[in-house]
Structure 1
């Protein structure tokens, strides 16, 4: 039996992506419910994926109420790597889809936005760029309405001045214009742009810039800016916000 299953009981599969699979599990010693993120190792002889190493090293150094907690890292005999996280009910995208009344509750939207910004400020104050902020990477505890930043696979430490880095980071819909235009020098504003896009999505219940390509997204950004200058209804903020 793999080492992870000696300590943790797998309950059900709750997600899957290019990184691997996520299971809901239980710590057999404490009965605590956890999330088990299985990282796929395509070629074990080449070691662990750089994104997983980066995520582990960053999360080991971070402790904040609005950042998901990494509790354990387990390498199994089956050549698999498991990251053990605290368990949260669902992500922001699913929350918006299942709670249509959410967007009409200004107090709750502001509470969520405040928590997201607190998590981002903590990251930036510790010289960490998340670089992949989107509703799917924001996890929610429904009982307490707590929001936590998750999935730090693309996160990266930065210095001042910022050195040359790749612009191919965030999901395109939430990517800042300078990244869409190919800039290789950027800093904390790219995360702030993503937060703005998420705020608009919480209010509208749909993405702000759902382009088919990078150039299409750029056109949508400039179209939105031009319309907002002219006082168009395209402005996404409701009056009560």
Structure 2
């Protein structure tokens, strides 16, 4: 049997920059001659080149040869997935707040530029040795301002994929990313994924609707026109549930949120089945959940870290600081192995 080689192979390496002696991370994409440069790599490079923000991984350079396309990124020690693996019962509430604030800063920046990330998940949120969170892996990112209003629905890792995309919607905006924010927010607090589907899209939808209630046309205008919606019966066989039951299920399934002031309210505004009801990144930054943070955080320039503000720092997690965690995971990660 003859195996057909994949059109590209991606490798992640860490090397020392000879100019300044600092580590950089290389994303090496090996090209097949007959295929040329893959459009996902071109898209990632072109988008990242124009993004300059403290909470977005910095692309230093692009090296293009006949055999490879190499993206040279700043070196970042670990990612949120690895960090949470070290602390499986949930993160310190203060650290959750600082990570979420940084995530929203980065998303607000790209959303203002009409760019969607489209693959938000803990593996694509890098964390530096100082606790700075950076959006990474823009291989699935897409500028909204292209002529077509239709996008692929084969985006976002299943656990972080919103119900509208699961039901086949290909017409979406920044609200796609905001569902992922809600899922990651819950996961940071409670230590387990909000909707950990184990089988397929159907299973993922069932897990979401078990917690949030099965939407109807009244609750979600336009749901009946989505490709995977089954007319004449409720989605996934669930009965349409009342708002009161929805709230009780939310409380029972998404544990831990009630112990953090305003966390449950914020999470519920991200995790809205109807896309247009989801809170935007910019609006979320002004939610009461962040009211105890220093006001100077809202005055920072794009390239300024939140840790330049006095008294803003991460708390030790179960006796282990992020510096220790970073040293244990210092294998250089510029991007995850997400499906492009």
Q: CA deviation at 1:166?
A: 1.1
- State the match for 1:163 in structure 2: 149
3-state SS, counterpart of residue 62 of structure 2: strand
> Within the alignment, does 1:126 sit opposite 2:113 as a pair?
yes
Q: 1:19 to 1:146 in 2, by over 3 A?
A: farther
Q: Give the Cα separation in 2 of the matches to 1:139 and 1:129.
A: 18
RMSD: 1.9
Unaligned runs of 5+ in 2: 1-7, 214-244, 264-340
> Within the alignment, does 1:229 sit opposite 2:247 as a pair?
yes
Q: Give the Cα separation in 2 of the matches to 1:26 and 1:104.
A: 32
Bigger radius of gyration among the two: 2
Query: CA contact under 8 A between 2:84 and 2:91: conserved in structure 1?
Result: no
Q: Give the Cα separation in 1 of the matches to 2:72 and 2:20.
A: 14
Query: CA contact under 8 A between 2:116 and 2:142: conserved in structure 1?
Result: yes
User: In the alignment, which of 43, 47, 64 is matched to residue 75 of structure 1?
Assistant: 64
Query: CA contact under 8 A between 1:140 and 1:148: conserved in structure 2?
Result: yes
Query: CA contact under 8 A between 1:162 and 1:187: conserved in structure 2?
Result: no
Q: CA deviation at 1:184?
A: 1.4
User: In the alignment, which of 133, 145, 160 is matched to residue 147 of structure 1?
Assistant: 133
Unaligned runs of 5+ in 1: 1-17
Q: Which moved more, 1:57-66 or 1:157-166?
A: 157-166
Q: What TM-score comes out, normalization by structure 2 length?
A: 0.61
Larger RCO of the pair (alpha carbons < 8 Å, separation 6+): 2
Q: CA deviation at 1:160?
A: 9.2
Q: 1:161 to 1:28 in 2, by over 3 A?
A: closer
Q: What TM-score comes out, normalization by structure 1 length?
A: 0.86
Q: CA deviation at 1:208?
A: 1.3
User: In the alignment, which of 3, 12, 20 is matched to residue 10 of structure 2?
Assistant: 20
Matches within 5 A, 1:69-108: 69-76=58-65, 79-100=67-88, 103-108=90-95
> Within the alignment, does 1:37 sit opposite 2:27 as a pair?
yes
Q: Give the Cα separation in 2 of the matches to 1:70 and 1:178.
A: 32
- State the match for 2:123 in structure 1: 136
Query: CA contact under 8 A between 1:93 and 1:136: conserved in structure 2?
Result: yes
Q: CA deviation at 1:235?
A: 2.7
Measured against aligned partners, the alpha-carbon deviations of 1:112-159 in whole angstroms (never above 9, x if no partner) come to 0000011111110000000000000000012x2100000000000003
